[in-house]
Amino acid sequence: MLVDGKARRYLVTLATGGQFHSHSGVTEHDELIGRPEGTTVRSSGGARYVAIRPTLADFVLKMPRGAQVIYPKDLGPLLMLADVFPGARVFESGLGSGALSMTLLRAGADILGYEIRDDFAARARANVEAFLGDGQRYTVEVRDAYEGIEATGLDRVVLDLPEPWRVVKHAAAAMHHGGILVAYLPTIGQVAQLREALAESAFGLAETIEVLQRSWHVEGQSVRPDHRMVAHTGFLTHARLLGG
């Protein structure tokens, strides 16, 4: 990740002999390869860049996308609501560009993912490999979760789908008692329909939250909330599968 003097960030995959081109000229990859994080380099046009390894949040915001991603402000709470642990068997559907997959994998999950679009499945696999490397516990199938889940004994089901209520009965059959379902939805109407389906199922303890993010301007004695904030992106609904 190259950060310029105006805090603009550029995601770069380094390669021997490669170059990063910008409006400020050319920066040689060879000046960065093998150097420690925090190194400062200059482009041919004199621009200064600080080089650091991207965090997961950095990568999610800058990586190639096939579909809209779940933003970092929601990925952190989602991980906690799902209570993902190392070795957890997680079913994920609606892979999009792989942001959620990377978050779950970093927490130690084993993922079975369903995605109905070949191009989204390929993009998710590519992004996961680009950030985490190959050999991840990541199985992706081009399938429709609305038609069923071909797995049993799952610990968690995580959904980023427009109609997750159609998966509730399949999730109940595929999970063990005590398992957790989490769904990400952009509109409250979708949430209401999901909550109705959960209320009529074996799931209980359902809750829905919205996460708002407000940054602060701190410069000397000037301390105030920033004029802009990241408000609504989506709703997170979670519930637990209870015994009969």
Under a CB-based contact definition with an 8 Å cutoff, are residues 54 and 40 in contact?
no
Judged against a pLDDT cut of 80, whether residue 135 lies above it is answered with no
Q: What is the pLDDT of residue 134?
A: 85
Count CB neighbours of 23 within 10 A. 7
pTM: 0.86
- Same structural domain, 30 and 141: no
Q: What is the pLDDT of residue 64?
A: 83
Judged against a pLDDT cut of 80, whether residue 66 lies above it is answered with no
Q: Which amino acid is at 209?
A: I
Round to whole Å and give the CA distance between 39 and 49. Answer: 8
Under a CB-based contact definition with an 8 Å cutoff, are residues 203 and 172 in contact?
yes
CATH number at residue 178: 3.40.50.150
Judged against a pLDDT cut of 90, whether residue 154 lies above it is answered with yes
Q: What is the pLDDT of residue 179?
A: 97
- Same structural domain, 92 and 49: no
Judged against a pLDDT cut of 70, whether residue 244 lies above it is answered with no
Mean pLDDT of 54-73: 86
- Same structural domain, 91 and 7: no
Q: What is the pLDDT of residue 145?
A: 97
- Same structural domain, 35 and 48: yes
CB neighbour class for 7 (10 Å; exposed up to 12, middle 13-18, buried from 19): exposed
- Taking only the tens place, the pLDDT of each residue in 161-187 is 999 999 999 999 999 999 999 999 999
Considering only CA atoms, which of 66, 39, 51, 48 is closest in space to residue 12?
51
**pLDDT above 90: percentage of residues in the chain:** 84
In the DSSP assignment, the letter for residue 213 is B
Q: What is the pLDDT of residue 200?
A: 96
**Average pLDDT along the chain:** 93
Q: What is the pLDDT of residue 67?
A: 75
Kindly compute the dihedral angle of the four CA atoms of residues 90, 59, 116, 105, in this order, to the nearest 10 degrees: -20
- Same structural domain, 39 and 79: no
- Same structural domain, 25 and 76: no
Helix, strand, coil distribution of the chain in percent, nearest 5: 30, 30, 40
- Same structural domain, 97 and 185: yes
CATH number at residue 28: 3.10.330.20
The structural domain count of the chain equals: 2
Q: Which domain holds residue 10?
A: 2-53
Residues 6+ apart with CB under 8 A from 134: none
- Same structural domain, 104 and 41: no
Which residue has better confidence, 197 or 229?
A: 197
- Same structural domain, 36 and 78: no
- Same structural domain, 98 and 30: no
Round to whole Å and give the CA distance between 68 and 61. Answer: 10
- Same structural domain, 25 and 71: no
- Same structural domain, 216 and 167: yes
Q: Which stretch of 77-81, 131-135, 219-223 has the lowest confidence by average pLDDT?
A: 131-135
Considering only CA atoms, which of 138, 2, 132, 140 is closest in space to residue 62?
2
